[in-house]
């Protein structure tokens, strides 16, 4: 895949028209019920009008703080959670299918193409089933294979994700987090899907294991021609693996851009704040980038106007009234920031550039360093690694 | 059954303290070493291994197995027929077993008993007649009994010769052997508990799972129904329902009637627990994963929800049995449950209803002791299973 600082490969641009998924105006509201009569007193607008377009073979990174609706969006796209409104068009076999119009049975059949990797490698594997039953379940329920063919396919899947066939009769508790996530990946891969939504697949893992799982996902993408929506709360993980990044805040996409562009030229105060949080482990140097105040507001009671105005350092009175729209700030780069805040961000960026050559070069170097440190350490928790097994 | 669990819990804690056992907290997930050692084991085997390490739980299980064995072979194990009256031995205290006599050591024996009326108090008193020894014999002939209608026999496990007084736990006011009555009555109490739990579990599991899995209107309906049942205090409603059973019904019908009444009043608690667990499992990641895999509701319920719930079901069942046993005892004690000639622990205990009787014939409290031990044993067992399943139940 793309090295952190390069532009997306030309191939991706050529295939620009080869759309696989179009999400338009997607909303998922959860009713908030109160009192003994369980009356609906409001809604958590977990996903509130999201537009996304995915090209075949690309990786879209989806970033935002915890609670901003990433999981809900990912699950709504494959209707694991029923969306409230909007359309989801999936291009499959030359057809453009609106997932929202499908019945339960049709949706179930189409799920073969749309798979999901869970954030929590512990709760997502049924503790009462052994690995063979877990990985073979998609093949069994879709009647894809049975008997020795099933066995063979499951074995090759489990090998492909870096485990061994004799792990198959073990139960999930016997594996480490990284190994469990590999099992989850094998399960998602079983039906040979075209789109995989990976919901923070590495956030529950040790730093040293994260890189291995990310590399595995990248290899699999090339090998099986997969399209990914890769969710993370941390920009550093996403940058490494994504072609494009969408930044999410309180149920809305506030900025999308090619990943290099986003890091070089963040055009929404929220993106800039997220970046400042990951860029620099040294607190003395961090304040040079804009930050934000406070914490994510209750999504059941989202602020009016620009939803970010309660935390934005550039907020002005009009921000609380006017709802900004997603506008193109550069080719392929859209942001929901209003004109005035864009201006102030630019001014600050130039101001900083003028401050001195030294600090400017510091910042320029920051960008490549974004890629997570863990990439260096390709050892999976030694106590449980497959290669260690013969020794006991 | 709302008020029983607290009582039962209090008894259990008391028992634990008496035995010097502290409640074990559910332990953390298995350490890596253990993960490695047992990695090919299924959940059930892991749970079993953990359970074996819980002394109180194992003790409870052993006691229950013992009681189950005793009540299953009640007639064989009891020295006399439950309803044989020894008119000359009414309200006789527990008899002593000897091995020494004036002329040396013997096999275990009992002396013959002579009864007389105390001229001062007018009460019957008993003295050992040291001139006659009755040796205790095993696999000996006694009253004839029918083993569940399969065969008839007069071979009993223990006895001191047919017609001889041999009352290890004393007799009641009709001179019936209390030990024999406890054994046979125990079978009734025990099976009432088991059957009632089975019935209410079937009902509760079905309602709870449907309620939890589908939610919405169905859920609301089931929950409100349970609330209505629970808005009445359980003992009065049990009494009212069992008072509806026709008094002329034969014993086995009354028995089934009591079981039904207990189950009808008791299924709600189980249903609620099952519903809660179903809700949690329904929204768990591994069920979502099955949905992503393309599994239908039926498969999800039977392959994912039910197995994940099984350990929980076993625990709540084990913990529910004692409250059913207590409820049956309460009803029978109050004369609204099992009717003579059938008997049960609760009914036996009703003989010891007043303080006058209690002071004179304290051995009539033995059935109460049996209830206590059974209830405690079930609770120890249930807690043991719960602790054993906790760390692996994700
Ligand atoms: N089933 C649900 N019912 C009610 N609120 C929910 C539900 N699932 C998520 N939410 C709320 O929606 C918001 C977004 O949650 P989520 O999508 O999990 O965020 P993220 O994955 O970005 O951390 C949160 O405020 C969460 O509390
Ligand atoms: S519109 Fe206003 S509140 Fe929103 S990001 Fe821009 S400056 Fe901040
Ligand atoms: Mg999430």
- Ligand 2 centre distance from Cα of residue A235 (Å): 20
Cβ-Cβ contacts under 8 Å, B294 against chain A: 108-109, 111-112, 138, 141-142, 191
Cross-chain residue pair A174–B289, CB shorter than 8 Å: no
Instruction: Provide the sign of the torsion angle of the four alpha carbons B215, B216, B220, B221, taken in this order.
Output: negative
ipTM of the modeled complex: 0.81
Asked whether residue A370 carries a pLDDT value surpassing 80, the answer given is no
Range among A30-39, A220-229, B129-138 rated most confident: A220-229
What's the pLDDT tens digit per position in A9-40?
444 444 446 899 999 999 999 988 877 777 88
DSSP class of residue A306?
S
| pLDDT the model gives residue B132 | 82
Average pLDDT over residues B285-312: 88
What is A312-366 written as a DSSP string? -TT--GGGGT-----EEEETTEEE---HHHHHHHHHHHHHHHHH-HHHHHHHHHH
pTM score, whole prediction? 0.75
Domain borders along chain A are 17-247, 250-391
- Ligand 2 centre distance from Cα of residue A287 (Å): 19
pLDDT tier at A275, thresholds 50, 70, 90: confident
In DSSP terms, A26 is beta-bridged to: A50
Residues with CB under 6 A from ligand 2: A 269, 306, 308-309, 312, 314-315, 319, 324, 337-338, 341
| pLDDT the model gives residue A301 | 83
* Cα A133 to Cα A168: distance, rounded to the nearest angstrom: 8
What's the pLDDT tens digit per position in B239-297?
888 788 787 887 788 888 888 888 888 888 888 888 888 888 888 899 999 999 999 88
What is B338-375 written as a DSSP string? S-TTS--HHHHHGGG-SHHHHHH-GGGGHHHHHHHHHH
Average pLDDT over residues A172-196: 92
Cross-chain residue pair B36–A174, CB shorter than 8 Å: yes
Of B40, B286, B291, the CB nearest to A123: B286
* Cα A118 to Cα A203: distance, rounded to the nearest angstrom: 10
* Cα B32 to Cα B50: distance, rounded to the nearest angstrom: 16
Ligand 2 mutation target, pool A341, A343, A348, most atoms within 8 A of CB: A341
Ligand 2 atom 3 nearest Cα:
A309
Q: Given this structure, which CATH class describes domain B180-389?
A: mainly alpha
**pLDDT > 90 fraction of chain B, expressed in percent and rounded:** 11
Cβ-Cβ contacts under 8 Å, A112 against chain B: 294
| pLDDT the model gives residue A114 | 94
* Distance of alpha carbon B103 from the chain centroid: 44
Average pLDDT over residues B41-53: 80
Domain borders along chain B are 95-166, 180-389
**pLDDT > 70 fraction of chain B, expressed in percent and rounded:** 88
Higher pLDDT, B166 or A191: A191
What CATH number labels A17-247?
Answer: 3.40.50.300
A130: nearest CA partner in chain B: B42
Q: Which helix (H) or strand (E) holds A277?
A: helix A269-279
| pLDDT the model gives residue A124 | 92
Average pLDDT over residues B115-124: 82
Which of A343-352, B17-26, B82-91 has the least mean pLDDT?
B17-26
Nearest-10 crossing angle of helices A177-189, A131-141: 20
Which of A84-88, A152-156, B30-34, B50-54 has the least mean pLDDT?
B30-34
Interface test with A, best of B33, B50, B293, B394 (most A CBs within 10 A): B293
Average pLDDT over residues A252-261: 92
Q: Does B29 touch chain A (CB under 8 A)?
A: yes
Nearest to A327 by CA among A255, A244, A243, A269: A255
pLDDT tier at A380, thresholds 50, 70, 90: very low
Which of A110-114, B26-30, B36-40, B160-164 has the least mean pLDDT?
B26-30
CA of A271 vs chain B CAs: smallest distance (Å): 30
A77: nearest CA partner in chain B: B292
Q: Compute the mean pLDDT over every residue in chain B, rounded to the nearest whole number.
A: 82
Average pLDDT over residues A291-300: 81
Nearest to B189 by CA among B392, B363, B386, B378: B378
What's the pLDDT tens digit per position in B146-173?
888 888 888 888 888 777 778 888 888 8
Q: Does B295 touch chain A (CB under 8 A)?
A: yes
DSSP class of residue B391?
T
Instruction: Provide the sign of the torsion angle of the four alpha carbons A103, A104, A109, A111, taken in this order.
Output: positive
What is A66-132 written as a DSSP string? TTSSHHHHHHHHTTSS--SEEEEEEEETTEEEEGGG--HHHHHHHGGGEEEE-S-TTTTS-TTS-HH
CA of B196 vs chain A CAs: smallest distance (Å): 29
* Cα B172 to Cα B343: distance, rounded to the nearest angstrom: 13
Q: Does A109 touch chain B (CB under 8 A)?
A: yes
| pLDDT the model gives residue A354 | 67
* Cα B328 to Cα B343: distance, rounded to the nearest angstrom: 11
In DSSP terms, B140 is beta-bridged to: B156
* Cα B240 to Cα B368: distance, rounded to the nearest angstrom: 24
| pLDDT the model gives residue B14 | 63
Q: What angle do CA A83, A88, A92 make, to 5 degrees?
A: 135
| pLDDT the model gives residue A355 | 62
Which of A64-68, A275-279, A312-316, B87-91 has the least mean pLDDT?
A275-279
Contact B324, B5 (CB under 8 A): no
* Cα B337 to Cα B346: distance, rounded to the nearest angstrom: 9
Higher pLDDT, B70 or B241: B70
Range among A27-31, A238-242, B12-16 rated most confident: A27-31
Q: Does A171 touch chain B (CB under 8 A)?
A: yes
Average pLDDT over residues B200-207: 88
Question: What are the tokens at B125?
Answer: 């008193």
Higher pLDDT, A363 or B93: B93
Q: Does A37 touch chain B (CB under 8 A)?
A: no
Q: Does B298 touch chain A (CB under 8 A)?
A: no
pLDDT tier at A125, thresholds 50, 70, 90: very high
């Amino acid at each position: 895949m793309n090295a952190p600082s390069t532009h997306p490969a030309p191939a991706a641009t050529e295939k620009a028209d080869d759309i696989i998924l179009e999400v338009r105006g997607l909303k998922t509201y959860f009713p908030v019920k109160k009192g003994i009569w369980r009356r609906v007193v409001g809604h958590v607008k977990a996903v509130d009008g999201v537009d996304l377009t995915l090209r075949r073979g690309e990786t879209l990174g989806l970033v935002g703080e915890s609670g901003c609706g990433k999981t809900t969006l990912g699950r709504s796209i494959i209707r694991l959670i029923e969306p409230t409104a909007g359309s989801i068009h999936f291009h499959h076999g030359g057809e453009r299918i609106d997932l929202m119009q499908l019945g339960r049975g049709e949706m179930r059949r189409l799920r073969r193409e749309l798979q999901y990797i869970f954030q929590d490698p512990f709760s997502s594997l049924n503790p009462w089933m052994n690995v063979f039953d877990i990985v073979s379940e998609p093949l069994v329920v879709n009647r894809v294979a049975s008997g020795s063919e099933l066995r063979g396919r499951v074995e090759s899947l489990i090998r492909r994700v870096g485990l061994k066939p004799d792990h198959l009769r073990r139960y999930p508790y016997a594996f480490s987090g990284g190994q469990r996530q590999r099992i989850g990946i094998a399960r998602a891969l079983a039906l040979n899907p075209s789109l995989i939504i990976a919901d923070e697949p590495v956030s529950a893992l040790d730093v040293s294991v994260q890189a291995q799982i990310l590399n595995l996902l990248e290899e699999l993408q090339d090998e099986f021609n997969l399209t990914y929506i890769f969710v993370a709360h941390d920009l550093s993980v996403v940058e490494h693996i994504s072609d494009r990044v969408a930044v999410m805040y309180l149920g809305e996409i506030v900025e999308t851009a090619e990943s290099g562009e986003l890091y070089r030229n963040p055009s929404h105060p929220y993106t800039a704040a997220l970046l400042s949080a990951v860029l620099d482990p040294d607190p003395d140097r961090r304040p040079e980038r804009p930050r934000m105040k406070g914490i994510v507001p209750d999504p059941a009671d989202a602020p009016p106007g620009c939803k970010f105005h309660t935390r934005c350092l550039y907020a002005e009175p009009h921000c609380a009234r006017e709802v900004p729209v997603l506008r193109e700030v550069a080719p392929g780069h859209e942001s929901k920031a209003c004109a005035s805040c864009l201006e102030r961000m630019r001014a600050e960026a130039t101001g900083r550039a003028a401050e001195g050559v030294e600090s400017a070069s510091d910042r320029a170097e920051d960008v490549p360093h974004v890629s997570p440190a863990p990439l260096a350490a390709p050892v999976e928790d030694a106590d449980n690694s497959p290669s260690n097994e013969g020794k006991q | 059954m709302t008020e029983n669990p607290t009582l039962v819990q209090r008894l259990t804690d008391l028992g634990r303290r008496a035995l010097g056992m502290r409640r074990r907290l559910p332990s953390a997930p298995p350490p890596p070493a253990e993960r490695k050692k047992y990695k090919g084991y299924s959940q059930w085997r892991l749970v079993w291994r953990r359970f074996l390490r819980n002394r109180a739980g194992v003790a409870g299980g052993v006691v229950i197995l013992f009681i189950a064995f005793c009540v299953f072979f009640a007639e064989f194990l009891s020295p006399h027929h439950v309803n044989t009256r020894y008119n000359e031995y009414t309200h006789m205290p527990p008899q002593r077993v000897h091995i020494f006599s004036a002329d040396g050591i013997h096999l275990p024996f009992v002396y013959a008993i002579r009864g007389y009326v105390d001229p001062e108090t007018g009460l019957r008193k008993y003295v050992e007649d040291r001139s006659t020894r009755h040796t205790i014999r095993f696999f000996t002939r006694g009253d004839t009994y029918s083993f569940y209608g399969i065969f008839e026999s007069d071979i009993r496990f223990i006895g001191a010769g047919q017609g001889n007084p041999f009352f290890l736990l004393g007799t009641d006011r009709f001179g019936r052997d209390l030990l024999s009555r406890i054994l046979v009555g125990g079978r009734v109490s025990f099976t009432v508990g088991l059957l009632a739990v089975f019935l209410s579990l079937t009902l509760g599991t079905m309602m709870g799972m449907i309620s939890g899995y589908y939610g919405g209107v169905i859920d609301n309906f089931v929950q409100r129904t349970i609330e209505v049942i629970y808005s009445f205090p359980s003992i009065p409603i049990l009494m009212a329902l069992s008072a509806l059973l026709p008094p002329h019904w034969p014993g086995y019908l009354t028995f089934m009637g009591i079981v039904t009444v207990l189950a009808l009043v008791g299924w709600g608690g189980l249903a609620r627990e099952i519903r809660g667990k179903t809700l949690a499992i329904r929204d768990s990641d591994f069920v979502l994963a099955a949905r992503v895999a393309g599994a239908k509701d039926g498969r999800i319920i039977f392959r994912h929800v039910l197995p994940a719930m099984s350990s929980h079901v076993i625990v709540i069942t084990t913990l529910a049995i004692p409250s059913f046993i207590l409820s049956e005892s309460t009803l029978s004690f109050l004369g609204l449950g099992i009717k003579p000639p059938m008997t049960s622990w609760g009914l036996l205990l009703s003989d010891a209803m007043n303080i006058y009787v209690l002071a004179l014939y304290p051995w009539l409290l033995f059935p109460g002791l049996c209830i206590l031990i059974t209830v405690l044993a079930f609770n120890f067992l249930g807690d043991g299973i719960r602790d054993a399943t906790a760390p692996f139940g994700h």
